[in-house]
Amino acid sequence: MVEGAMSGPALLRLLTWLSPAFPTGGFAYSHGLEWSVEAGDVRDEASLTSWIGDLLAHGALWSDVILLRQAWRAPNPAALAELGTALAPCAERRLETCAQGAAFALAAASWPAPALQALADGPLPYPVAVGALATAQDVAEDDAALAFLHAAVANLVSAAVRLIPLGQAAGLRVQAALEPAILATEAATRTATLDELGTAAWASDIAAMRHETQYTRLFRT
């Protein structure tokens, strides 16, 4: 095995947990993109790439991966679950992260993780759940962080492909264009602490709030 490469079992687990087929219900959430498309803020490949790039550098994806890393390091991530829930800027963002976190924990019951199972009775943000399971199952922190970011971006691109709409080829071009931003966020959060939690992607947060009363909706958020 190449030095630094993941072990076969760890890689298999990570691929399973963050696969679109893993039953977290991620396909039902657009992270406010549905309103952003209706408002015309996201309308093509370029604006979608810019929008998701800002989420990686300044938005919820930045804070999510910090929470994941801190949960990976924490013997008892209960306080992180409370913090992650409190950070949600609106009801729909809270629903998005906690519903997916609960679904992830339920689906992941086949892989023992006492710290994750101890969180099952309360609100459980999705990145905290992923971090707690990854550390319990010997999945490296950086690998878990990178895979989480890739899956989150892929889910947003998939939502946009249906909403704008974009073709599949266009969606793949966006995914490829965002690879440097994904890698940059993964690297930048390696030394980030809880003091660096926070976002400045206000247009995304406002879109999530306005989505609550959007007349026609395909997505839950």
Predicted local confidence at residue 2, as pLDDT? 38
Say how far apart CA 53 and CA 50 lie, in whole Å: 5
Predicted local confidence at residue 86, as pLDDT? 96
Using alpha carbons, select from 104, 89, 112 the residue that is nearest to residue 212: 89
Q: What is the pLDDT of residues 131-188, one digit of tens each?
A: 999 999 999 999 999 999 999 999 999 999 999 999 999 999 999 999 999 999 999 9
56 HSE (CA, 13 A, CB side):
29
When the pLDDT of each residue in the chain is averaged and rounded to a whole number, the result is 95
pTM above 0.85, yes or no: yes
- Is the pLDDT at 3 greater than 60? The verdict is no
Average pLDDT over residues 113-135: 94
Say how far apart CA 78 and CA 68 lie, in whole Å: 13
Q: Scan for tokens 């959430």, then name that residue.
A: 29
Domain boundaries, the chain: 48-211
The CATH number fitting domain 48-211, selected from 1.10.4190.10, 2.60.40.10, 3.20.20.70, 3.40.1190.20:
1.10.4190.10
Calculate ∠ Cα 135-140-145, nearest 5°.
90
